């Protein structure tokens, strides 16, 4: 599996082994951070993209970053693997509906 520089759930930098999430077998996750992914599962599996973006904005605002930087970071969350895959699934479901006709 490809190793990512940023968590593919929340976008935080995976620049330290300590912030990597963990797989079921104890291996470190190459995709997700420890705050979002533990023992092979998302820590908040029910979380929506909108909730993640809201959280992200709050965290970045606490760091007093420039508004443009915050907007760019929040926008980019939807392109992370966790959310991209979900959107692709949605697209496939829609297509399946059309084919039923
Ligand atoms: Zn994360």
Are residues 51 and 28 in contact, defined by beta-carbon separation less than 8 angstroms? Answer: no
CA distances from 22 to 5, 17, 67, 68, 95 (A): 16, 10, 33, 32, 35
Q: If you measure from the C-alpha of residue 62 to the centroid of ligand 1, how many angstroms do you get, rounded to a whole number?
A: 17
pLDDT digits (tens, 9 = 90+) for 83-95: 987 766 666 666 6
Q: If you measure from the C-alpha of residue 92 to the centroid of ligand 1, how many angstroms do you get, rounded to a whole number?
A: 26
The whole-number pLDDT of residue 66 equals: 94
How many CA atoms are closer than 13 Å to the CA of 72, on its beta-carbon side?
5
Q: Residue 40's CB: how many other CB atoms inside 10 A?
A: 13
The whole-number pLDDT of residue 85 equals: 76
Q: How far apart are CA 76 and CA 99, in angstroms?
A: 32
Q: If you measure from the C-alpha of residue 9 to the centroid of ligand 1, how many angstroms do you get, rounded to a whole number?
A: 5
Tokens of 101: 């006709």
Q: What's the pTM value of the predicted model, to 2 decimals?
A: 0.78
């Amino acid at each position: 599996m490809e190793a990512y520089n940023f968590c593919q759930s929340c976008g935080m930098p995976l620049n330290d082994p300590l912030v990597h999430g963990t797989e079921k077998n104890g291996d470190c996750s190459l995709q997700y951070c420890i705050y979002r992914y533990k023992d092979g599962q998302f820590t908040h599996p029910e979380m929506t993209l909108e909730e993640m973006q809201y959280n992200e904005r709050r965290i970045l605002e606490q760091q007093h970053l420039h508004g443009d930087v915050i907007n760019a970071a929040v926008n980019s969350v939807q392109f992370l693997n966790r959310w991209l895959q979900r959107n692709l699934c949605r697209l496939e479901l829609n297509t399946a509906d059309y084919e039923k006709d």
